[in-house]
Structure 1
Amino acid sequence: MTEQLWINYKERNIKEAKDELIIHYVALVKIIAGRLYTSYNAHVEFDDLLGYGIIGLIDAIEKFDHKKQIKFETYANIRIRGAIIDQIRHMDWIPRSTRQKYKRVEEAISRVQKVYGNDMTDEHIAKELGVSMEEYGKLIGEVTTYSVVSLEERLEDNSNFDIASDSVDFQPEDNYTDREVKRILAETIDKLPEKEKKVMQLYYYSELTYKEIAEILGISESRVSQIHTKAIAKLKISLSSLY
């Protein structure tokens, strides 16, 4: 079905075919917008994310080369999500104080990791930050949303890599960097402690919520948040060599 639509639009310039492609792939936009809506903790309206995503979808349809051996869903996923994230960044809804707190946490994790490696604990990080475990828990709760956002932004700035996909859409000028990003992230995730690796898999690949992950692992949502935030910081630290 879609193959003929691509031919009609790309080779015969039939506008109706483009409209049908947009309608056909709106479901993909809804999935991506819904996923990001969860990540951004309802700081933005779902309909707004959907609108931003459709802009990305239209751009993807216009630029997609249907003759290449690349799945459109993979190509569009990257561009739809990129369009949504780009618009949200322009909104600048995250307080500067939250960004600063997350930077403190990330820097503390970097320092502690150099000493303890993957054996570092939350107690080590809290001590490095000079806070109690209770204060540490509250701090992680405040920055957890931005930790997800910051990783998305870092990947969006640097490459066409999609953390939840085994495929990468390569452009010649991006080929080396994209492969490096994928290699570094894969190696870092592989070296994570088992629980951190499990949380990353369930969140990004199975696309579960913190509540669902907590139920599977038999821990609290706040604990999932702590594990996830720590794992994300490690991923960002591992990518620092590319900047």
Structure 2
Amino acid sequence: MIGQKSHLANIEMWKRWREEHDTVAKQTLIETYLPLVDYVSGRLSIGLPKNVSRDDLISYGVMGLIDAIEKFDYERGLQFETYASWRIRGAMIDGLRQGDWVPRSVREKAKKIEEAYQKLEQQYLRSVTDAEMSAYLQVSEGDFQQMVQDIAVTTVCSIDDPIREEEAETRLSLLIDEKAKNPESKVKEVYLKDTLAQAIERLTEKERTVVSLFYYEELSLSEIAEVMSLSPSRISQLHSKAILRLRGSLSRHKSHLFQD
């Protein structure tokens, strides 16, 4: 990814675009940061169905990059790469969602499992086992594993997904300027981090390892499979279950996080 040095080297371009609305400067910025689109599309394409075109992802991503450049304020001292990556990823997922790339039946399975994790882990106050999930869902453990495999493509989680389905507020709205004084947002951010930390702590050891390697070390699922000496499909299952558990934890605490 493009680093801090590159960002500083483009200050003049940012000034020309933001202050003078110089379209040549804007085009230069787009071309400079295009590698971000390729990077994000590579990460996002992991585990997606074969009918999802990488070219389509890139097209959506370019629109997200342009939107990020148009809205970014370089004077706030934030990293453009981080801001743009979220915008690019959100644009890609919005494009996929509009194309209805996941069958309704698969989304319903995902929701059913997420709700089961939410209820059982609230009841037991610990990470529930596959056997307990299977018993609750009234399916065999083999069928449960297949369900998790089927919904792997739905666990591509976007920062632009609504926190609550009926409202427009997104996780992106939680990203705040550290220089800005907004106590309410700060409290929500701290609470969210604490909630996620507790949820991650309750993941199984293998699930935590997958989450760490995928989101922090930025390895692909196939690379994680090699590191952990497991099959890619098993890694996909572990990733899916981890995300569903985390979503369940967020749903469980959303009434406390986002009270009016």
Tell me the TM-score normalised to structure 2 length: 0.81
CA distance in structure 2 between the partners assigned to 1:19 and 1:150 by the alignment: 27
Asked if residue 232 in structure 1 is aligned to residue 243 in structure 2, the reply is: yes
Counterpart for residue 137 of structure 2: 129
Counterpart for residue 153 of structure 1: 161
* Equivalent of residue 91 in structure 1, options 99, 103, 110: 99
CA distance in structure 2 between the partners assigned to 1:174 and 1:91 by the alignment: 36
Describe the SS at the equivalent of 2:102. Answer: coil
Counterpart for residue 42 of structure 2: 34
The one-letter amino acid of 1:200's match is: V
Structure 2 unaligned residues grouped into runs of 5+: 1-8, 256-260
Counterpart for residue 198 of structure 2: 187
Aligned partners of 2:159 and 2:172 also within 8 Å: no
Describe the SS at the equivalent of 1:153. Answer: coil
Structure 1 unaligned residues grouped into runs of 5+: 163-167
Greater fraction helix:
1
Aligned partners of 1:185 and 1:238 also within 8 Å: yes
Q: How far does residue 180 in structure 1 lie from its aligned partner after superposition?
A: 3.9
Taking structure 1 as reference, are residues 175 and 29 closer, same or farther at Cα in structure 2, changes over 3 Å only? farther
Corresponding residue pairs, total:
238
Describe the SS at the equivalent of 1:42. Answer: coil
Q: How far does residue 103 in structure 1 lie from its aligned partner after superposition?
A: 1.7
**Mapping of residues 68-79 of structure 1, within 5 Å:** 68-79=76-87
Taking structure 1 as reference, are residues 178 and 39 closer, same or farther at Cα in structure 2, changes over 3 Å only? farther
Q: In percent, how many aligned pairs have the same letter?
A: 38
Q: How far does residue 119 in structure 1 lie from its aligned partner after superposition?
A: 4.5
The one-letter amino acid of 1:206's match is: E
Counterpart for residue 66 of structure 1: 74
CA distance in structure 2 between the partners assigned to 1:3 and 1:150 by the alignment: 29
Counterpart for residue 254 of structure 2: 242
Q: How far does residue 228 in structure 1 lie from its aligned partner after superposition?
A: 1.8
Q: How far does residue 44 in structure 1 lie from its aligned partner after superposition?
A: 1.7
Instruction: Tell me which moved more, 136-145 or 190-199.
Output: 190-199
Asked if residue 203 in structure 1 is aligned to residue 193 in structure 2, the reply is: no
Counterpart for residue 9 of structure 1: 17
The one-letter amino acid of 1:70's match is: L
RMSD of aligned alpha carbons: 2.6
Tell me the TM-score normalised to structure 1 length: 0.86
